[in-house]
Chains A and B, each alone.
Chain A
Amino acid sequence: MASGSESPRRRRHVALILLAIGLALPGYAVLVDEPFLVTLATRIVVLAVAAVSLDLILGYGGLVSFGHAAFVGIGAYAVGTGFFLDFNNDTLLGWDGSVDVLLIWPLGVLVAALVALAIGAISLRTRGIGFIMITLAFAQMLFFLVQSLRWQGDDSLALWGRSELPDFTGLDLNDTTTFYYVALACLVGFTWLCSRLVDAPFGRILQAGRQNEKRMRALGVAVDRHRLAAFVIAGAGGGLSGVLLANAAEFVGPAYLAWNRSGELIVMVVLGGMGTLVGPIIGAGALVMLEEYLAQVTEHWQIVLGPVLLLAVLFARRGILGLIEALPGDWMGRLRRWRARRSGDV
């Protein structure tokens, strides 16, 4: 089992390479004249935030949460509600809405965290299959809740623009590339926070509790509260993803909370390599691109995706990152020597 502490060096290299690709992508898109690439990459980055946050409880905490899309949905609905009230000069409980990034984004994250606190407090009383089913059921409950919401007669809402950054930044999120970089910054920042968390005593206790809860209790720590804290932080990360998602798609609807979204997030985490933080980012990219590619090949792409998932589970247990890390030889060293030789030539 990946425990998050092994082979961290190669993992850091993979993370840096991913970051370089992420930074260079808009430039590449201009170069090959494929502006759609930035939109696709934004989608990957946004979903990656949710996948990384899920990894915190799934990979490190060992808790199969099947309702993570609920937190994504909450973040998105916070943006939608703020936008709706602001646009229609309406109020809700005395609040007249907002499109301000500095207000609405933290609000979405906070609400998601609070809901995670409530759901986690009840769900964590159970283990195993029970936990899976209960997180799913709670997410479903929220799904029905938002489905009954009406934005002037409709259960979904198209936004007529994105959240606004303060003027002094000089940044306009309606610009596709600007928004992409902001989303990327969110992903990098959140992943970095998580990486501190999992190496800190808090994260190590969490992982030890996953391996052997009985031993951890005999050592004087009931891991439940650590798990709940991780669940709340993961919920906040889901909320951040949702805030970004609503802005990226300029759309908010119940579909964000649908149960298969939660399933897809789990797929991203496991496909990429769980308990690694970097893996879920790769998983998000892989799944989004796979869907994109398969959808071009056949309308019935899910008939391929289903068995692919099955096979991945059966045969590539450590995910894509696991495969990369299992590559033979010191490929990073070889790359460095190759670069050194080239720069020596000049």
Chain B
Amino acid sequence: MSTALFIEQSLNGFQLGVMLFLMAAGLTLVFGIMDLINLAHGSFYMVGAYLAATFARWLDHFLLGVLLALPAAALVGLIVDRVALRTLYRRDHLDQVLATFGLILFFNELVRLIWGPVPIPFDPPELLSGTVEVWPGVGYPAFRLAIIAVGLGVALGLWLLITRTRLGMRIRAGASNREMVTALGVNVPTLFTLVFALGAALAALAGAMRGPILAVEVGMGEEILILTFVVIVIGGIGSIRGALVGSLLVGLVDTFGRALLPDLFALMLHDASAASSVGASAASMSIYVLMAVVLAFRPRGLFPAHG
């Protein structure tokens, strides 16, 4: 593997990693604090992408479109929380799975109803359409670099919020010991709502930024949702640090798996077509193998948050 390819793939893996972190941060807190499994988190990602694409077209401005989509998605999150999920906090996980599964069907169909079944166009901003030379002779799309920068910035902001503020202290306490937060006299429903809306906005941000790279289409949320689950399982449910480490690990393993494994198999199998097929499947399976290995040794993930 050449240096250029290595740098490019590292950046790709990093970019996927920070996206996954935006998804995982909100979701793992919701798991940790509310003990709520929310399958519809991927719907916020999808809704975020659709709203951002639509707002950007109306305003003819990418950044404004994205910035407007975030509070809108947070609002959607609030409504979902109030209407559907509030009653589910005290139910068992099975009820939560079913109800939020219903929500996915609902959101997918709603989006199809409003925007139609075909993917909608969403172009990256003109300003960031070029490439940047990140290493002598190695160009990398500016937009993707911007994604990494924004992702890292948000991760840093989240880290500061959670480690340095009173709100963050309450959130952390809530994620590791729910009873304690209640005992401390924190207004738990408000805390829940805040965390939930924050999670929805972060997911929407991820969707809005990834939309121009992939397609903005119905069902885009599910694929990343399942990847996010893998991240959270690897990192440890309820742990922000685990979410960060897990995201980067999954992002890099997935990216390098896709880049390297087909070649590796071609080398071993001496049959290019068979190898590319086997290699491709091995690549898409690599993160699940990673998850299985982690779980085999640490059933509660790398950074268990509870007790």
Contact = CB atoms under 8 A, between A and B. Distances in A.
A touches B (Cβ under 8 A)? yes
Interface of A: 58, 64, 66, 122, 125-126, 128-130, 132-134, 136-138, 140-141, 144-145, 147-150, 259-260, 263, 266-267, 270, 300-303, 305-310, 312-314, 317
Contact of A263 (B101, B108, B230): B101
A148 B295 contact: no
A78 B299 CA distance: 31
Contacts of B129: none
B99 interface: yes
Given A140-B288, A144-B281, A134 B105 contact: no
B228 to A, nearest CB: 9
Interface of B: 31, 35, 37, 84, 87, 91, 93-95, 97-99, 101-110, 112-113, 222, 226, 229-230, 232-233, 237, 277-278, 280-281, 284-285, 288-289, 291-292, 295-296, 299-301
B101 A267 contact: yes
A134 B102 contact: no
Given A136-B226, A303-B113, A122 B101 contact: no
Nearest to B108: A302
Q: Top 8 closest A-B pairs, CB basis?
A: A306-B106, A148-B281, A309-B102, A141-B288, A306-B105, A303-B109, A144-B284, A125-B299
Contact of B109 (A64, A136, A302, A317): A302
A287 to B, nearest CB: 12
Contacts of A312: 98
Given A306-B103, A307-B102, A132 B97 contact: yes
Contact of A145 (B37, B110, B281): B281
A130 B300 contact: yes
Contacts of B105: 302-303, 305-306, 309
Given A130-B237, A136-B229, A144-B284, A303 B110 contact: yes
Contacts of A303: 105-106, 109-110, 113
A66 B97 contact: yes
Given A122-B292, A140-B226, A306 B237 contact: no
B239 to A, nearest CB: 12
24 contacts: A64-B93, A125-B299, A129-B237, A130-B300, A134-B291, A134-B295, A137-B229, A141-B285, A144-B284, A144-B285, A147-B281, A149-B281, A260-B104, A266-B94, A266-B98, A266-B101, A267-B98, A300-B113, A301-B109, A302-B109, A303-B105, A303-B110, A309-B99, A310-B98
Contact of A64 (B94, B113, B278, B281): B94
Given A58-B94, A129-B237, A148-B280, A309 B229 contact: no
A126 B97 contact: no
Contact of A307 (B37, B106, B226, B299): B106
Most chain A CB neighbours (cut-off 10 Å) among B35, B84, B93, B94 = B94
Given A126-B299, A134-B295, A303-B109, A309 B288 contact: no
Contact of A309 (B98, B285, B301): B98
A132 B98 CA distance: 12
Given A130-B300, A145-B285, A302-B105, A310 B230 contact: no
A320 to B, nearest CB: 14
Contacts of A307: 102, 106
Given A132-B97, A134-B291, A260-B101, 9 more contacts: A129-B31, A150-B277, A260-B104, A300-B109, A300-B112, A308-B102, A309-B101, A310-B102, A314-B95
